[in-house]
Amino acid sequence: MESETTIEIEVHLDADAAATMRSDVRRGLLAEPKELSPKYFYDERGSQLFERITELEEYYPTRAEREILAGRSREIVAAAGCPETLVELGSGSAAKTRHLLSAMEVGGCLRTYVPVDISEEITHSTAACLVEEYPGLSIQGLVCDFERDLERIPADLGPRLIAFLGGTVGNLYPDQRRDFLARLAALMGPDDRLLLGTDLVKETERLELAYDDPAGVTAEFNKNVLTVLNRELGADFDLDDFQHVARYDAEEARMEICLRSLAGRTIRLEALDLSVDFAAGEEIRTEISSKFTRQRLEAVYAEAGMELRGWFTDTAGDYALSLAAPL
Ligand code: AVJ
C-alpha cells in the first residue's frame, strides 16, 4: 500500500537530568514545608503503579475522560473548527488520542500529529503504531520536557488542537499554572484551540478515596518516590517510617498528597552530601491535584489570556474537557 506517511522525531533531553534532580531535591527538602516534585514519581515502577491506579474503582478521572473522548470526540473536533494538526502534551502511548485522531480523519481535516513526551522509546513506538492505523498521517514528534520546551512546538502546520489530557494541569501550583497557560496562549494563533482535561470539585469523601484507595496502590505509588531518592541520590529512607496522607483542602480546591514521618529522624542523602531532620509527624508534600468548576476554569483562562469556548463533561459530571482560544 502506498501512502505519504512520514515520521520525524526531534529529541531535546536535559543534558544533565541528574544535576537538575539533585538541585530540585535539595531545594525541596530544605524548604518549609518540605516538598518534592511529582515528576520524580514516574520511574518504571512508578509508571506501572500509576497504570494500576487508573484501573482502581475509586479512581474515576481516567475512566471519565475516556468516556468523554469515546462519546464526544466528533463534537469536540467540530467545536475546535476541525483542525489539521493534533498536538498532544504528554502523549505516552496515545491510548485516548485515537478518538480525537479518528474524529479528525472522519471530519476530513487530519494531516499531522505532534506527540510531545519525555520518553523517547514510547514516542517512537507510538508513532510507528499510529502511521499504520492512519495512512497518510504525518507525525512530527518532540521528545522533551514540555514545561521547559513548549516553544519548540511546530507552528507551520495549519490550525492546531493542542491537547493536554489526564488532569495533569492540576499538579501545577497556581503561579506555575498561570505561567504555563500564558506561554501556551502566546504561541497559539487565532485558529488554534487548547483541549484541557481537568478533574472537577466534588464531595470530599470521594476525592479522598480516589487518592487513598483501600488496596493501598496510591500509598505505594506515593512512597515509591522515596525508593527513587534512595536509588538515585543514595538516600536512606525506610518506606515503613512514612505514612501516605491524602487530604482535600476545600479552600484551595485541591488534593494534597504527602508523606508523613511517623517519628523524629535524620535522613542522609549521600549524593547531596546532605542530612535532613524530620520532626515526628512532619510531612513532605509530594503532589497537589487541583479540582475545578467551570466558573473557576473561566477565571484561570482569563488570567492566562485565553477564553473558554467549549465544555464537555462525562454523564456523572465528574470530569471536564474544555476548549479554550487565545484572546
Ligand atoms: C495523572 C497527575 C493527573 O493528580 O490525579 C493519581 C496523579 N496521583 N493518584 C492526579 C495521581 C495520585 C494524577 N495525575
- SS3 string, the chain, reads CCCCCEEEEEECCCCCHHHHHHHHHHHHHHCCCEECCHHHHCCHHHHHHHHHHHCCCCCCHHHHHHHHHHHHHHHHHHHCCCCCEEEEECCCCCCCHHHHHHHHHHHCCCCEEEEEECCHHHHHHHHHHHHHHCCCCEEEEEECCHHHHHHHCCCCCCCEEEEECCCHHHHCCHHHHHHHHHHHHHHCCCCCEEEEEEEECCCHHHHHHHCCCCCCHHHHHHHHHHHHHHHHHCECCCHHHEEEEEEEECCCCEEEEEEEECCCEEEEEHHHCEEEEECCCCEEEEEEEECECHHHHHHHHHHCCEEEEEEEECCCCCEEEEEEEEC
Q: Is 171 a pocket residue for ligand 1 (Cβ < 6 Å)?
A: yes
Taking the CB of residue 121, how many other CB atoms lie within 10 A of it?
9
What pLDDT, on the 0 to 100 scale, is given for residue 93? 85
Nearest alpha-carbon partner for 84 in 17, 137, 41: 137
Q: How many CA atoms lie within 13 A of 253 on its CB side?
A: 15
Spacing, Cα 289 to ligand 1 middle (Å): 7
Sign of CA dihedral 255, 261, 263, 266: negative
Is ligand 1 within 6 A of the CB of residue 141?
A: no
Nearest CA to ligand 1 atom 9: 211
Å from CA of 168 to ligand 1 middle: 7
pLDDT value of position 281: 98
Task: Quote the CA–CA distance of 30 and 28 in Å, as a whole number.
Answer: 5
222 Cβ inside 6 Å of ligand 1: no
* Residue to mutate (ligand 1; options 47, 50, 147, 207; most atoms within 8 A of CB): 50
| Residue-level pLDDT at 169 | 97
Q: What is the pLDDT of residue 141?
A: 96
Confirm or reject: Cβ of 88 under 6 Å from ligand 1: no
Q: Is the Cβ–Cβ distance between 156 and 187 less than 8 Å?
A: no
C-alpha cell at 32: 518549609
Question: Is any atom of ligand 1 closer than 6 Å to the C-beta of 197?
Answer: no
- Per-residue pLDDT 10s for the chain (327 aa) are 445 789 999 999 988 899 999 999 999 999 999 999 999 999 999 999 999 999 999 999 999 999 999 999 999 999 999 999 999 999 888 888 999 999 999 999 999 999 999 999 999 999 999 999 999 999 999 999 988 999 999 999 999 999 999 999 999 999 999 999 999 999 999 999 999 999 999 999 999 999 999 999 999 999 999 999 999 999 999 999 999 999 999 999 999 999 999 999 999 999 999 999 999 999 999 999 999 999 999 999 999 999 999 999 999 999 999 999 999
Does ligand 1 lie within 6 Å of residue 92's CB atom? no
User: What are the pLDDT digits (tens) for 282-298?
Assistant: 999 999 999 999 999 99
For the whole model, what pTM was predicted?
A: 0.96
Distance, CA of 151 to CA of 184 (rounded, Å): 8
pLDDT of residue 3: 56
Q: Which atom of ligand 1 is nearest to the CA of 50?
A: 6
Integer-rounded Cα radius of gyration of the chain = 20
pLDDT tens digits, 304-326: 999 999 999 999 999 999 999 99
What pLDDT score does 2 carry? 46
Q: Which cell is 165 given?
A: 489530557
**CA dihedral of residues 174, 25, 225, 18 (deg, nearest 10):** 110
Sign, CA dihedral 134-141-180-257, equals positive
Closest to 160 (Cα-Cα) out of 76, 80, 78, 100: 80
Check pocket membership of 42 for ligand 1, CB cut-off 6 A. Answer: no
Place of cell 509527624: 281
Q: How far is the CA of 119 from the centre of ligand 1 (A)?
A: 18
Q: Is the CB of 218 under 6 A from ligand 1?
A: yes
Please name the residue that has the C-alpha cell 476525592.
207
- Pick left, alpha or beta for residue 84 (phi over 0 → left; psi -120 to 50 → alpha; otherwise beta): alpha
Q: Which residue has the cell 454523564?
A: 315
Give CA–CA dist 320/203, Å, rounded: 16
Centre of ligand 1 to C-alpha 83, Å, is: 29
Give the per-residue pLDDT at 5. Answer: 81
The protein residue with its alpha carbon nearest to ligand 1, atom 8, reads: 211
Q: 170 CB less than 6 Å from ligand 1?
A: yes
